[in-house]
Amino acid sequence: MNSTPTSTNRRRRYCNLNIMSKKHKKRKHSFTSKETPEENAKIVLVEEKTRKANEEMQKHTKKNNKMKSKKKNKIKRTDTSLIPKASKTPQSSVEHNGIAKTSNNKQQEIGSQQSKFLGRAVANSVLDFKVKQKEEIIKDGVTLVLFYQYVEPPWSASEHQAALDYATKSGDKFGLTGRMRIAKEGFNCTLTGSYDGVRDWCAALRKWCPNNFNNTEFKFTDNLPEGQRFPKLHAFSVDEIVNYGLAGSRAPPIIKYGGCHLEPDDYHKKMAENDTVIIDVRNHYEANIGRFEPPSEGAKWLDPMMRKSTEFPVWLDKPETKEMLRGKQVLMYCTGGIRCERASALLRQKIENEEDTKELGIKGVYQLQGGIDKYFKEFPDGGKISKISLKCCPLLYLYVALISILNDRILER
């Protein structure tokens, strides 16, 4: 007959636990009455293994820290002659010849503000210099650069040929690969190379023609895998850097008619306004890959359903398109910003010169500066109003290059 545990049994269990605790005074575990001596031995073994693993982890961490410190010491330091020497003047302001000198703290604050204005090219304080020492630039892998530049007035035939020759020779010199579309109206390039090679070539391009390229926005993506390097450099002549069928005198001047450029943050806010439409200036197959999806109470997204950019002027002249633009703010976007340049200029030219477009009462024409490429750098999560998921972001730059090649092949056909 089964019976409940007696007080004698309870005392025996207590005594057994007491004996075990004496054997393992150094241990932190408090064993329960259900654990057998064999189970206790297993726990001790696990604790010993955990202790050894923690010791190994600490040794590994110390080793990594030493390696990192060695790498940082190898980084080329800024010339110390550029660092202002610490002043012996007291921290309070001192009047000298009727002019009040600011304290050291204020001087460092002013120096810091100046360095921001100059792009932080030179360390203006000892503190700033120490921060720059900690920055480590990784130059491994492939660097991708995307850029375009319209030239106004357009180059002559001889200037165009000189630009084509320069691009080819200098690109080979700096080890670049990729595609350069060069027209009388400017450059449209998707290039790969080494970290230094790509940046040195961009700097050389600015020196070669500063009037046209000093304000060019070069978009760099570093540390890409070797498989994303283009096999060779192909610089070729075209009538337009984006084929709208508006070459020469038919092209609306961008300086005169170009849309207002909005940085990603401002563009993001504009999409939430309800008196707004967003025109996707890309081809329809690109729009299917991913597009902006504004909030339901915000802007309305429009897809011109274009197979190629030459269809955009035709779509813009359709009566149903004009009704959709009536009384609205017009936002435009594309992959890198280049297609919006001519598209926005075309719409603004029509607003100013064509009566049927002028009477629509369009409130403004805006475009996304740097395109989707720049928007994703500002909003890596898609801004929470985009259909393009975060999973697509690492592939975005490869996608940009691929679309550029596909567009070129379509135009060549």
Distance CA 180, CA 159 (A): 16
Cβ neighbours of residue 28 closer than 8 Å, sequence gap 6 or more: none
In the block, tokens 């017009």 appear at 330
HEC letters along 34-72: CCCHHHHHHHHHHHHHHHHHHHHHHHHHHHHHHHHHHHH
Query: Could you give the residue ranges of the DSSP H alpha helices within 75-214?
Result: 104-117, 126-134, 157-173, 195-208, 210-213
Q: Kindly give the pairing relationship between strand 186-193 and strand 142-150.
A: antiparallel
In the beta sheet, which residues pair with residue 278? Answer: 301, 331
| Residue of 189, 209, 334, 340 marked catalytic | 334
Torsion, Cα 210 212 215 217, to 10 degrees, reads -120
Q: Provide φ and ψ at 143, rounded to 5°.
A: -110, 130
Cβ neighbours of residue 156 closer than 8 Å, sequence gap 6 or more: 184
Q: In what order do the strands lie in the sheet with 233-237?
A: 219-224, 142-150, 186-193, 177-183, 233-237
Q: Running DSSP on this structure, what letter comes out for residue 78? A: P
340 catalytic residue (yes or no): no
Helix (H) or strand (E) run with residue 149 in it: strand 142-150
Catalytically active residues are 334
